[in-house]
Every structure is written in structure tokens, then in C-alpha cells.
Structure 1
């Protein structure tokens, strides 16, 4: 659905965060007199009413009855379509779409394909991969937009003049379905990996996987770039898309830490500013995507040496009084935490783990701690007690110092005491920040501040926008 197709329809907005405000601005730019109803919380309602928009009504109770009164509801990504009120309204004919859906519909060509749009999703590594993709495209001389879930809503770059040569777009599992419902097809879609995440939003692991894969199963990209090492991806049948593989011997892949294109050695990836072998492996995804776009990738691989790592992703903040502090606040799954621990294998680590409880299974993590545990683990947050209970027997067997805290300041203080002036404090929570922080960025900033570093200097994402 294009923005112009909202004209004459009963339309509403649901959510007034950055995505919601951006959707409002984009709609108003095209349809200044369209009657809109906004559903938001009371604090946001005051801000929206202050706009003085006579065609905007503001309500704070998005009940099923009220949502069902509208033909189309443009909702923010964080609002699950599986909420009972949304399901009830959808059953009565209300169509729920997101800003991502509107953007794709606006940019589709005559054949339905959004030209030069390279979309990236995956449970972990998608932000770094998308940013690295934009970096290498720019290194090749192409004006490139870096946008999407990475921190710049697509509707904020709805009509750039001049238009970029390429779009490097990160999509979360909240947004992949929007692409599928837009009626548009990405030129290229990259899927990195699949692990259970956001189960509270999706409702189940099976639904999460289905929603994540919608980018390639339902959106039908012209070319799908897939990780051959992921069993779920390797088993996909995509009759409407050409499939390109990475992490396979005949394409871009790593042998230990060496990058290869088929049997051709390219370079040692260890010096690259890509924290963790999994991120260096995602360079293979980027290079495969460049080839899918018709760009010669081999000469561009070395440009990864000048990439600037993203904040909150295995970000080394510095050392204070013998302790090094690493901010991996974006880690929201146990799998991401395990990958973070692998990056610091052999070092004395105090791990801070836990946060919002969305029902993810930590049993596998606990079992891995029997053979690859850090020196100390401090659990925290809403799911901290559940993780702590799983780790008690493991910690005793493995000789791990195990402590519990309610908040991040308490957890950091315990970690510092357990390390006693030597080692690494690793914030890799394996869980979202909701409840105590607005988002993972706020959590990472607070961690930096608590550790004695300037939060402003560690928060900027290099290259965001069009360049």
C-alpha cells in the first residue's frame, strides 16, 4: 500500500516513538488533510496534541473495538500484531502495516522490484553486516543509504534528492513481514542466521522463524543470499528467487580465520576491525551480496580494514585500574552471549548476563558453561533469577564464581570485586533491556558511564544516512 492509497480511508497510527513520528510526518507530507487517529501513551499524547494538527485525534486506549473502527492502522515495529486486540481487529477486517511497508511500496518499480535495495536480516550480526555492506559500497564509489532497523527509519529517507545508488537496509524480525505485505520485492535479500529470539513478540519460536524468513519466502527477492552453514537456511526452497550462498566452499567462506573465494586465498581476517569470528564470517555475506549486485567484490575485500565497528557490539571501551570493559549491550540472545565469550577465550572474564524475560530457553547456555565458562558470572534483571538457578550446579562443577544482582550498577560492582583488579568485564546480557532501560543503547550508555567512560563518545553509528 502506497501512502496515496490511504486517502479517503479510515486510518490510524499506533505508536509515537521515532518510527511512529516518522510515519506521521511522511503521511502528512503527502496527505496534509487526511483524518488520522493516533493511539499512544498519555505522555506521548501531550506531545502529539501540541502539534496543533486539527485533523489528528489522539487516544490512549487502543482496544480491539477502537482498532476495528479503522480500515488501516500504521503501527510501530515494536507493537506485535499478535497482541489480542490487534488479532481481534484484524479478524474484523483492519489491515495492520508498518512504515517499512509504506516505504517499499513507494519505491517499487514497474516489475514490483525495489531496484538497488539490499536488505539484511538475521538473529545476530545484521547491524554490523549492513553497515559493512554500506562501507564497501561507498569504497567502490557508490552513493549509498544506510537505514532501517540500524537507527534511521526508512521513512526518514523517503524522497532523497539525489537518490542513492544503493540502499543498505537492516530489517528486524518485526519488519521483515512488512516487506512481504508491501507488494514490493527487494532486489537482494541477505539472511545471516536463525536462533530463537523475540518470542514474546512473535508468540513462539516457530512463528519467529516464519516471520524472519518472510523476507525471502514471502517477499520473493530477485536474489536471496543465504548462509549455507545454517541448517534452516540450507534447507530452504525458494522457487521465485535466485539463490547465492556464502559460507560454502565454492563461494565466499572462511577457513579458520582466512578469507577465501572458492579456492582463492584472499586475506587473513584476524586484523580486521570486526569483533568476533562470527562478524568476520559475515564479511562473506557482504561480499556475496556485492557479487549478487553485479559488483566485483574481490578488490573490495581489503576495504574492510578501514571499517569502523558499531557501538554496543563487542565494543572495547578501555581499561581502568587493570580491568578492561567491553560493551556488548546489543546481545539479546544466549547465542550472542556465547559468541561474545568466544571472542575473549583465554582471558579472565566477569560476564554480566540477564535482562527482560521473554521466555527464551537458557538451558543450552548453562550446559555450555560446563566446558567454556568465564571466571565469574553475575546475573541481573527480570530473568536473572531463572538464569542463576540454571547456573548454580554448573558453576559449582566448573569452579565459576556466581553472583546475583537486581540492577546493572549492582552487577558491575560485583564483577569488579570478583575480578579484583585484573580481567575483562563483559556486558553481554543475552536479553533485551526493557523494564530498566528504554533500549540496548541506553543500557550500553549507562554501562559506559558506570565504568568511567563518556557515553556520548561511544554511541555514534558511523555512516548512518546517505553518503
Structure 2
């Protein structure tokens, strides 16, 4: 870890500045409103020119904001700052023109960070390829159990701009940050931060795994108290070592094994802390039982340890970790147990939309009939299948890119029976569940962990998970 003292961001005067907001939508519209309210001369540029965009443009125009629809590539004359929606790719012509003109580019996270007032609530930040939302929600639950005023913000819950500028006063914020948001947040300096894990994702946006990893690592820059990393994922520790942090900031690991000094881990069914104790070489502090984590799958226990590490870095007492984890209820479609039918458990992890998430889900059960498939997004499945092969009792494939998984199964698990459903209509899920029931025996788990996106068959992963749950409940009624 670097030891350079990091100063806070330089104040920015918005009054009278020519500011371009790139993109309408969930971040662009509120950013435009806020900047206009601060006295900036705001122009919004947007690639699309559909009915929704025109309605948003009309609302902003009524305030005096200029909106250019169907032209997100041209840099408006006189622009002194761009505030972009996080999803806009860095190689867009607008940003190339900005770089040539020396115009800075911020995302909504950077804007929120700059707009914090005196004595603003510190940020406990979480990023990673998978588990961000669950970890941030666990963290917020722990902080609330400690009696702190907090909210889960960023990619989820309350928007960061609302959290920073709203009337609610917070003691501390639990902040979920995507790699997109971190890319456009150059001056963010968290109290403490965690990178949960790193696996190839969004490489079409970042251009390379190196660039994706670099953007994730930005979350550690300037941390004051703790940089939390995954001891089982060396790449996260490497990012800590490379980070330039404030003097005294500590590297804190989390592990599913017995923790060493300056780590949190698991001993005899207990979550324990050997980082935030008086004598971490000799002592450990019990925080909670593994059974307090809902559900107690290995990757979810890792999420709980990361949340606990950030909470402990903020000074939360041990009992609040236990109480917060007990109070936490996971979102739908995240390793959610739907029902037991004839001794077979049916589990919905429709949120496992990439191979890394599916790998964690498959590792949670000893004997699985796996329902998988959808849009692969350029993924390959050999490593996933190799790791899960010993646990598979059968596989049911659905979706547009199912052949990629079928071919990986043929190479690495040829003895596992596979049902390839040659259909992509929404009714295919009921057929998939029926086929899975036929393959399963008592004691098995039928697991929907698609390792793929859902948009070939469903509106989103929520609808896919709902279809699975409906099909399972139909089994129970004999329908």
C-alpha cells in the first residue's frame, strides 16, 4: 500500500459554468436538475430520440436546460465540464473530443462526492464482480443495528445525489459502486472500501481485463481506515498494495478459513475478527454464527465477512454485526429456496447472470440438477463446468446460447445427462423444471443458476426467476 497523504478534491464553482450532461435517464435527469439549480448553464446531449427522451427533454427545457436529442457525439461549444451517465463508454467520440479540449469528465458519483457539505457522512464503499448489492445491504443492516443513521446507496436504494443533497442526515453511507461509476470518479476518497472479487465482466465496455481491474481498484484510492480484500482472490490484494492511501490505513483480509492477524474469517461455525481487536496476534473476537447469515452459502458468508469488516472499520460493536446479519433479508432471485418437492430442493439464483456468479452458486450444493443458459455475452464455460462436474446429476439447457454450455459439458462432464430444450419462449421454463424433476432424486437440489443474461427469453432476471418459481409451485400442486 502506498503511504502518500491524499488531499480532498479541489472545490469546483458551478455558478455560470457551461456544463454538458451526457445522457438522460436515471442519473442524467437528476444531475441536470441539480446543476441547473446550482447556477450552471446546462446542456444535455442524448443519443436516443424516442418518446421517453422527448418527454424528459420537455421537462428539463421548462426549467431552462438545453437538450440535444439524437446527438450524443458532438461536444457543445464552450463546455467546461462533462457529467456523464455511468454507462457511456470511455471511447465515445464525445469523450475523445473532451480529452482533446482538456475538458474534465465526471460521473454521477464524482458529482455527488464534490457536492458533499461540511461534516458530510463518510462513505463505506463496496465493489466487485459479484455480491456488491448483497454486501452493501448487509452492511447497511449492520450499521442500523448499531443505531447509526445510514442508507444503502449508489447502484441501489437511495440515489447518491439524493443522499448527499436531501434533507435526511446520515452518520455514514453504505455505497455500492460499479466499475463504470468508479471509472468516472477520479477524486472519490472513501473512509474504507472493499473489492469482493474480480472476474472477467463488462470487458466490452472497459476494453480489457486490465482496464476493468484498474477501475475496480480506484475504490481504494485515498482510503482512510481500511482497504478490505478477499484473501482467496489475490488480484484484490494486489489492488490494495498498489493503492495510494492515507497514512495509517490498513489492509484487512476476509477468508472462509481460519483468519490470520488483520483478517476476518470462520472458526468452528463462527464469524470471527482478528483485525479490529486489541491484540490481533493472540486474540479473536466472535461476531456471529454462520447460521446468522441468510442464506449460509459460502459466497454469501464471504459477503457477510466483507460487510462485517467495513462495519468494524467504522467502529461498530460485535453485537451489531450479529444483529444486523440476523435482520438482513436477501433480495429475490439470489439463491432463494422456493420449495421442496418429493425430497428435492428447488433454488432460484436467476441473478447468477455470469459464470463467476454461477460458480459460487454451484459450489453451495453437493448434488445438483442445473438449469442454465440464456445470452452468454461472450463468456466461455469450460472452467465453470470443470469445477462443477462432480456435483452435477443432470443439466437442463434453455436459451439462445445453450449450445456453448452443452459443448463444454460434452468436453468436461460427458457422463452427466443433458436435456437440451430447443425453445426460447417464456413457456420453456415450465418444461425445464419438469425435465429437472425427472432427472433429480431425493436429496438433490434443482438449481436455476443460468450463468447467462436473460434478455433472449425474459425482460430481465427477475422475470426469469419468477417463471422458475411459478413452475416449481405448479409441480407441488400437480399442475
Report what 2:96 is aligned to: 87
CA-based RMSD of the aligned residues comes to 3.2
Is contact 2:370-2:392 (8 Å) kept?
Answer: no
Report what 1:11 is aligned to: 19
Report what 1:394 is aligned to: 412
1:240 lines up with 2:251 in the alignment = no
1:399-430 alpha-carbon deviations (Å, 9 max, x no partner):
23141455362541342231246665533222
1:377 lines up with 2:382 in the alignment = no
Report what 1:171 is aligned to: 177
Report what 1:459 is aligned to: none
Report what 2:80 is aligned to: 71
Aligned in 2, Cα 1:145/1:266: closer, same or farther, shift over 3 Å? Answer: closer
Is contact 2:83-2:105 (8 Å) kept?
Answer: yes
Report what 1:366 is aligned to: 385
Q: What displacement does 1:106 show?
A: 1.3
Paired residue secondary structure (1:174): helix
Report what 1:157 is aligned to: 163
Report what 1:349 is aligned to: 369
Aligned in 2, Cα 1:330/1:26: closer, same or farther, shift over 3 Å? Answer: farther
1:22 lines up with 2:30 in the alignment = yes
Aligned in 2, Cα 1:177/1:71: closer, same or farther, shift over 3 Å? Answer: same
Q: What displacement does 1:231 show?
A: 0.8
Is contact 1:379-1:387 (8 Å) kept?
Answer: no
1:221-248 alpha-carbon deviations (Å, 9 max, x no partner):
5432222232112333235241241323
Partner of residue 260 from structure 2, selected from 239, 243, 249: 249
Query: 1: CA distance between counterparts of 2:270 and 2:136?
Result: 21
Report what 2:334 is aligned to: 313
Query: 2: CA distance between counterparts of 1:444 and 1:29?
Result: 41
Query: 1: CA distance between counterparts of 2:405 and 2:193?
Result: 35
1:230 lines up with 2:233 in the alignment = yes
Is contact 2:293-2:300 (8 Å) kept?
Answer: no
Report what 1:460 is aligned to: none
Query: 2: CA distance between counterparts of 1:197 and 1:449?
Result: 30
Partner of residue 124 from structure 1, selected from 124, 130, 139: 130
Query: 1: CA distance between counterparts of 2:58 and 2:473?
Result: 38
Moved more, 139-148 or 58-67: 58-67
Is contact 2:36-2:42 (8 Å) kept?
Answer: no
Q: What displacement does 1:273 show?
A: 1.6
1:156-203 alpha-carbon deviations (Å, 9 max, x no partner):
323233411111111111112333x1x241111122111111111111
Is contact 1:369-1:394 (8 Å) kept?
Answer: no
Is contact 1:408-1:447 (8 Å) kept?
Answer: no
Partner of residue 37 from structure 1, selected from 22, 40, 44: 44
Is contact 2:44-2:68 (8 Å) kept?
Answer: yes
Aligned in 2, Cα 1:13/1:174: closer, same or farther, shift over 3 Å? Answer: same
Aligned in 2, Cα 1:326/1:39: closer, same or farther, shift over 3 Å? Answer: same
1:203 lines up with 2:207 in the alignment = yes
Report what 1:136 is aligned to: 142
Paired residue secondary structure (1:73): strand
Paired residue secondary structure (1:144): coil
Paired residue secondary structure (2:153): strand
Is contact 2:188-2:219 (8 Å) kept?
Answer: no
Moved more, 326-335 or 60-69: 60-69
Q: What displacement does 1:376 show?
A: 1.2
Query: 2: CA distance between counterparts of 1:349 and 1:429?
Result: 12
Is contact 1:13-1:20 (8 Å) kept?
Answer: yes
Paired residue secondary structure (1:143): coil
Query: 1: CA distance between counterparts of 2:336 and 2:188?
Result: 36
Paired residue secondary structure (2:426): helix
Aligned in 2, Cα 1:25/1:45: closer, same or farther, shift over 3 Å? Answer: same
Is contact 1:312-1:441 (8 Å) kept?
Answer: yes
Q: What displacement does 1:53 show?
A: 2.0
Query: 1: CA distance between counterparts of 2:14 and 2:212?
Result: 29
Structure 1 unmatched ranges of 5 or more: 454-467
What TM-score do the two structures reach when normalised by structure 1?
0.83
Query: 1: CA distance between counterparts of 2:21 and 2:287?
Result: 49
What TM-score do the two structures reach when normalised by structure 2?
0.81
Aligned in 2, Cα 1:260/1:413: closer, same or farther, shift over 3 Å? Answer: same
1:99 lines up with 2:99 in the alignment = no
Query: 1: CA distance between counterparts of 2:62 and 2:273?
Result: 56
Paired residue secondary structure (1:311): coil
Query: 1: CA distance between counterparts of 2:366 and 2:93?
Result: 44
Moved more, 134-143 or 71-80: 71-80
Aligned in 2, Cα 1:143/1:39: closer, same or farther, shift over 3 Å? Answer: same
